[in-house]
Amino acid sequence: MSREILLGDEAVGLGAIHSGLSGVYAYPGTPSTEIFEFVERATKHMGGVHAFWSTNEKVAYEEALGMSWAGKRALVCMKHVGLNVAADAFMNSAVTGTNGGLVLAVADDPGMHSSQNEQDSRYFAQFALIPCLEPRNQQECYDMMFEAFDMSEELSLPVMVRLVTRIAHSRAGVETRAARDPNPLNPSRDIKKWTLLPSNARVQYKHLTEKQPELLRRSEASRFNELVLAGKRGVITCGIADNYYRENLAGGDDSVLAIRQYPVPVESIRRLVEHVEELLVLEDGYPLVETMIRGLFGLAGVRVAGRMTGELPRTGELDPDIVREALGLAPRPTAHAAADDLANRPPALCKGCPHTDSFRALNEALSSFDNPQVFSDIGCYTLAALPPLEAIHSCVAMGASIGMAAGAAHAGYTPAVAAIGDSTFSHGGITPLLSAVQQGVNLNVLVLDNDTVGMTGTQRSMSTGETLDQIILGAGVAREHLRVITPTPRNHDANVAVIREELAYDGPSVIIARRSCLEAIKKA
């Protein structure tokens, strides 16, 4: 047994390795990226664990499901919005069930530190009717992986481990234990289970619903769901919220139910509710447990307080101070009031970044249009929305730039311009481009090919260089309307001219702005 310094993400990765992992699957996304990176780094020399970035979360999930089908243990990791991409495979994998253990580690981002929304993945676990574990510290990140893999194999279900940013990106010392051997190859031959024709799917779905009492029984008995009955104020803490409660009121007189395994332990909640006069629910994310307990019409005799009643803010990340206020405690005295007029220091594109040159050229090429709008996407280049460039005007979902530009073009908007990075293009841009080309839509796609996934720390991009060119030509873009420029200050005028030519063309065109990310060059 040894003690290692690990991020929550890394503890999940190491827990999976020590649980007998055979494959890790992921697409980079803050705050989940470091799970995959840790497993890749830790297993590179010993081999035995397949670790290669996937093109997107759906692909990652399906690869992990295939590994499970073959009888081996697979970990698939993503950020919360990545699970939207993987949702088709995810939902149906609960219906098929699994063979080798399949664990989905999904990292939510309450407060949207690096995300487009703060959706709560516990709803997805509930939706799919699968168990969910929610660690409150790095040690549990590690320990819960053993439980999750075992549970997955015992129940023949995928199991979700839900993280939030503050645990994913926080380090602590973690005690590790002996590693379990990986499973042998043992493919499933249970054709009806895996072939979700309606006649099979109905049977499988019934199986899934019949497993639910066992899931509940496990939650009630789980060491991760702890009920202590004491005073007449009840507090329910979910996952990391328990830390914020204990930071303020360790050893207090409240009756407390700490929940870290779902489905929610109904009997424990009933006992708590019957014991207390008021109930405060603390959860970092959506008010899932709070609204379940309150129901549509409230709970007779017990006021249920939380995010929906104003004790806690409806949106955003919890922290010890927010929880302190909800518990009715006065703020701690501080050395200084918060500085309220301090100059902000927002993130910005790096000095010398190729995206800066690309967007300067695009801005100038579009300057002859009246207030032109550029659809864009998710990556470092989203920072071009901010001054001084102010070059892009949308960022919605991976690959959405191309689909939205096409829709705007259908409506008669011109020039319909989409700006998307090379990795985002492989993730979600290929299919909307194919669709636009088949429809002959008049749109211009600017692919910012910097040869890496920049924002999340320069991971390998799937469609860059020659591969990118071939994909675009393969989607049917005419060779003469696939233009490649090198975004540098020196090439500015020439690049503006190329973009102008393509803006004038009535049909689908793609301009690739190709120059490597400086961060990636530095690391290489």
Partner 1 sequence: MDKNIILAGVGGQGILSIAFVIDNAALASGFEFKQAEVHGMAQRGGAVQSHLRYADHEIHSDLIPKGAADLVLSVEPLEVMRYWHYLRPDGWIVSSVTPYVNIPDYPEPERVLAQLATFPSCILVDGAQIAKAAGNLRAQNMVAVGAASLRLDFPEELLLTYVAALFERKGPAIVEVNQQAFRLGRIAGRFFRGLVEAGVPVPTAVELGRRLAPETLDPALAADWARVVADPELAAPILQSEEIRACDQVPVGA
- Amino acid 424 reads T
CB of 166 to partner 1, least distance (A): 5
- Specify the residue for token string 């960022």: 395
Nearer to partner 1, 246 or 483 (CB): 246
- Closer residue to partner 1 in complex, CB, 50/166: 166
Least distance in angstroms from the C-beta of 102 to partner 1: 26
Nearer to partner 1, 214 or 319 (CB): 319
Q: Which residues pair with 386 in a beta bridge?
A: none
Minimum Å gap between C-beta 137 and partner 1 is 8
Q: Measured from the CB atom, is 170 or 188 closer to partner 1?
A: 170
At closest approach, how far in Å is the CB of 169 from partner 1? Answer: 5
32: amino acid identity, one letter: S
Q: Residue 137, Cβ neighbours under 10 Å: how many?
A: 18
- Backbone region of residue 51 per phi and psi (left: phi > 0; alpha: psi in -120 to 50; beta: other values): beta
Cα–Cα dist 393/273, whole Å: 49
Q: Which residues bind partner 1 (CB under 8 A)?
A: 3, 5, 30-31, 33-34, 113-114, 137-138, 166-167, 169-173, 240, 242-244, 246-248, 250, 319-321, 324, 331-339, 342-350, 380, 383, 455-457
Q: 515, 522, 519, 524: which is closest to 355 by C-alpha?
A: 515
Whole-number Å distance between alpha carbons of 358 and 513: 7
**Of residues 150 and 325, the one with the C-beta less far from partner 1:** 325
Between 99 and 165, CB nearer to partner 1: 165
In angstroms, give the least distance from the CB of 331 to partner 1.
7
Kindly state the smallest distance separating residue 9's Cβ from partner 1, in Å. 9
Q: How far is the CB of 328 from partner 1 (least distance, A)?
A: 15
Residues 113, 30 contacting (CB under 8 angstroms): yes
Whole-angstrom distance, CA of residue 472 vs CA of residue 436: 12
The backbone region for 306, taken as left when phi is positive above 0, alpha when psi lies in -120 to 50, beta otherwise, is: left
Is 174 within 8 Å of 167 (Cβ atoms)? no
Shortest spacing between CB 199 and partner 1, in angstroms: 46
Minimum CB distance to partner 1 smaller for 347 or for 476 = 347
Give the HSE-up count for residue 208: Cα atoms under 13 Å, Cβ half-sphere.
Answer: 24
Rounded-to-integer distance, Cα 306 and Cα 299, Å: 14
How far apart, in whole angstroms, are the C-alpha atoms of residue 67 and residue 183? 11
Q: Which is nearer to partner 1, 50 or 136 (CB)?
A: 136
